[in-house]
Amino acid sequence: MENIIEVKNIKRYYKIAKEEKGFWASLKSLVNKKYEIKKAVDDISFEIKKGEITGFIGKNGAGKSTTIKMLSGILYPDSGTVKIDGYIPYKQRKQYVKNIGVVFGQKSQLHWDLPLIESFELMKYIYKIPKKVYEENLKKFVELLDMEDFINQPVRQLSLGQRMRGDIVAALLHSPKLVFLDEPTIGLDVVAKEKIREFIKYMNKNEQTTIIFTTHDMQDIEKVCERLIIIDQGKKVYDGTIAEIKNKYSNIKNIEVMYEDGSKEMKTFDINKIPMNQVMEKLFTEESIKDISICEPEIDGIIRDIYEGKIELNADTKGE
């Protein structure tokens, strides 16, 4: 399958004014201000194929948001190239935005005082969506996201979960080939999160919509995405599957032991210090064990260790 996104060696710098200490130094800086250069994005490259759904994550300040803004055409790279579906986003923004959808979890594109359905009608006008396409998409999305009961209510009266479903529909009504989802489940309850996750998977599988998913909720990533890109300090540090990162970098194994009396105990082992065969031998020497099950490593813990520098990654080879 051909690539829809091609990012090559992009860099983005920011100038930050230096703070001068002392009264006279502060006065002098008003006339002759000094700056330091911060690398927000430092030589990142990757490709994403049509119909792929990719988690794009990084801790706060890692360069994640700056990269997404360059992909969506809001910012331009200081060097390197971004090409998406044949467009250079920041140069051909007017034509490009017709083919993408964007959802920001903390910034709604819905009109606060209008009924939700009227916000959708405005999107139909803005994107010049053909009537048939609009009606078919609206009917399908409303059913999938269970929105019949509140589609005629003013947006200000909706719950956070209802507004988020409305934002997702608004971003997809024009059938975009590519969708950027930034924290689409932030602040939502378990039921609302699961409904949105299922909808995202449906759109990816049935409509072949390419999706880039950014979030701090690793359950979103694990349940929705197969591929994961991690950036840290402006650099790409991992590009591969969720399964690969769990298998390769999770050295802590949790083993649940069930005893004959019905009690359970969770034992934790570091297999870098004790080989797995020795762990199992040790367990089998214990009496009264009825069953043993090895629990899957938690992706949250692995990502936390990466952010804290406890795990060093090599992103030279995708899926290595």
- Show pLDDT as tens, one digit a residue, over the chain (320 residues): 799 999 999 999 988 776 666 666 666 666 677 777 888 999 999 999 999 999 999 988 889 989 999 999 999 999 999 999 999 999 998 899 889 999 987 788 899 999 999 999 999 999 999 999 999 999 999 999 999 999 999 999 999 999 999 999 999 999 999 999 988 888 888 888 999 999 999 999 999 999 999 988 888 998 999 899 999 889 999 999 988 887 777 666 777 888 888 888 877 777 667 777 787 777 777 768 888 777 666 788 788 878 877 777 654 444 43
Which residue, of 246, 276, 309, is where some domain finishes? 246
* Domain of 256, in residue numbers: 252-296
Q: In this structure, is residue 318 part of a structural domain?
A: no
* Cβ-based neighbour number of residue 51 at 10 Å: 15
d(CA 293, CA 284): 13
* Cβ-based neighbour number of residue 19 at 10 Å: 9
Quick one: pLDDT at residue 24?
Answer: 61
Q: In this structure, is residue 304 part of a structural domain?
A: no
Same domain as 289, residue 224: no
Q: In this structure, is residue 260 part of a structural domain?
A: yes
CATH number at residue 34: 3.40.50.300
Q: In this structure, is residue 302 part of a structural domain?
A: no
Same domain as 115, residue 51: yes
Same domain as 264, residue 240: no
- Alpha helices (H) along the chain: 23-31, 64-72, 93-96, 116-126, 131-144, 160-172, 190-207, 218-224, 242-249, 276-284, 299-307
Q: How many domains does the chain have?
A: 2
Same domain as 262, residue 223: no
Distances (CA, A) of 168 to 75, 142, 195, 228: 23, 11, 12, 22
d(CA 297, CA 251): 9
